[in-house]
Amino acid sequence: MHSAPAVRFPVPRSARAGRALAWMCLAPAAPCLYGWASGLPAAALAAIGASWLLAAAVIFLQWRGMRAGQLRWDGQAWWWLPDDAAQADEHAVSVALHLDLQSAVLVRMTGAPGRVQWRWLACVAAPSRWRDLRRALYQRSLAPSTVPEPHP
C-alpha cells in the first residue's frame, strides 16, 4: 500500500465553528425567555441567566483560543505549526477524522502540549491541496497511536 503524499494545509480559525458556537449560545435563550414570560421567580431567572452567560463566555473564549496554523502530513506523521510560531515550534500531533462532509471535515487533533483541539478543515482554505489532505486523513498508518519525536 502506498503512503499518501506529503501535504501542508492551512487551518484558519473556522467561521463555521464560530457560527455553530454562536447558535449554541443563542439556543438556551428561548427557555430563558419562556421562563420570564411564564412568571418564573426573579431568583430562578437570575440563576438561569448567570449560568447561560457563563456558558456563553466559556464557548466564546474557546473559539477565540483556536489558533490558526498549518497542519502537515509528511508521509509518516502529522505535524502542527501555529501561524504565529517559529518553525522550531512545530510539534507532532495525532489526527483523527470524525466527520467527512466532502468539502469540509471535522478532525480531532491531540498534540504534545496535551491539548485536544476539534477543527473544521475546509476545501476553500486550499482547494489545490484538498484531495491530498483527504488522502492523508484516510491513510492507514502501521502504528496509528504513536506520535513521533519532534525533528531537529
Taking only the tens place, the pLDDT of each residue in 25-77 is 788 778 778 888 998 898 988 888 888 888 888 888 878 878 889 999 998 89
In this prediction, residues 17-27 reach a mean pLDDT of 80
- Quote the radius of gyration of the chain (alpha carbons, Å): 20
Name the pTM for this structure: 0.69
At residue 141, the pLDDT reads 46
Q: How confident is the model at residue 143 (pLDDT cuts 50, 70, 90)?
A: very low
Who has greater pLDDT, 5 or 29?
Answer: 5
Nearest to 87 by CA among 12, 136, 151: 151
Centroid of chain to Cα 35: 34
